[in-house]
């Protein structure tokens, strides 16, 4: 049977949201409690969802709805930016219900909890790295999951953020005139994040740094790499034009 506090909370939150109250359950089942949580999630009543899903996990931890409620509980915590609790609940599903069909989803959403905490490129990128590691693990472990395409998109976004971070550092060294140090970061972008726009720009700036030093041969090599690796791009066109102008 649902606890009195849960029933009262359901009625109060439903009234505040202007929705039809979720009915009380006489002989409540885990499925009933889960239904309360799902309805609350759909209305974005995340505090109610947390209470409902928590009720199911505590009242029937070995029942058929326990893993569903646990991932719902984690999702609700993530929705209110309580990432530490969300991570804990996703991990609890993985440890307590290792044979659940929801395991792949939990692995993916654990990565999303890191993704949600990833900061802009100019700030600390530790969560970006954690998200990439988790999402790549998910995609490699569960390649047939429907979440894999979305995971790939998020990985690409996160890698672009890391590349932007490295480019910002390289740009600082270029302004300071330390061209060798700048090239270290630019080469890292090309090697580690080749599918980002920052890789194309990095190769162009590598070539230009060699031009500034009077090394026409090394500049030509960088221009050629850019033209070969990224044909038809704006940066490749710039490389062809600049290489022609610098030719003896």
The pTM score is: 0.83
The residue-averaged pLDDT of 156-165 equals 97
Q: Is 239 exposed, middle or buried (0-12, 13-18, 19+ CB in 10 A)?
A: buried
Question: Rounded to an integer, what distance in angstroms lies between the CA atom of residue 72 and that of residue 178?
Answer: 52
Question: Rounded to an integer, what distance in angstroms lies between the CA atom of residue 65 and that of residue 44?
Answer: 21
The residue-averaged pLDDT of 23-32 equals 63
Question: Rounded to an integer, what distance in angstroms lies between the CA atom of residue 239 and that of residue 232?
Answer: 11
Q: Percent of the chain scored above 90 by pLDDT? A: 83
Question: Rounded to an integer, what distance in angstroms lies between the CA atom of residue 33 and that of residue 66?
Answer: 10
Give residue-wise pLDDT tens across range 222-244.
999 999 999 999 999 999 999 98
Q: How many CB atoms lie within 10 A of CB 217?
A: 7
Handedness of CA 86, 133, 194, 201 (dihedral sign): positive
The DSSP-derived string for 104-147 is HHHHHHHHHHHHTTPPPTTS--HHHHHHHHHHHHHHHH-TT-TT
What pLDDT score was predicted for residue 21? Answer: 45
Give residue-wise pLDDT tens across range 108-145.
999 999 999 999 999 999 999 999 999 999 999 999 99
């Amino acid at each position: 049977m649902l606890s009195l506090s849960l029933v009262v909370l359901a009625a109060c939150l439903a009234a505040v949201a202007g929705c039809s109250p979720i009915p009380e359950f006489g002989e409540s089942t885990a499925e009933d409690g889960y239904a309360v949580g799902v309805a609350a999630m759909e209305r974005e009543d995340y505090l109610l969802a947390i209470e409902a899903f928590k009720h199911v996990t505590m009242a029937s931890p070995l029942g058929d709805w326990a893993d569903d409620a646990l991932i719902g509980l984690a999702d609700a915590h993530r929705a209110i930016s309580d990432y530490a609790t969300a991570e804990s609940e996703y991990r609890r599903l993985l440890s307590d219900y290792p044979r659940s069909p929801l395991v792949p989803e939990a692995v993916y959403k654990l990565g999303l909890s890191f993704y949600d905490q990833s900061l802009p490129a100019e700030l600390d990128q530790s969560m970006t790295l954690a998200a990439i590691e988790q999402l790549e693990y998910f995609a490699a472990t569960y390649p047939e999951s429907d979440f894999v395409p979305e995971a790939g998109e998020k990985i690409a976004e996160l890698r672009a953020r890391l590349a932007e971070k490295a480019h910002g550092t390289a740009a600082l060294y270029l302004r300071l005139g330390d061209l060798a140090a700048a090239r270290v970061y630019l080469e890292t972008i090309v090697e580690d994040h080749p599918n980002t726009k920052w890789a194309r720009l990095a190769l162009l700036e590598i070539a230009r740094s060699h031009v500034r030093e009077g090394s026409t041969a090394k500049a030509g090599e960088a221009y050629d790499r850019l033209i070969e690796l990224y044909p038809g791009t704006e940066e490749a066109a710039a490389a062809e034009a600049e290489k022609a102008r610098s030719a003896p």
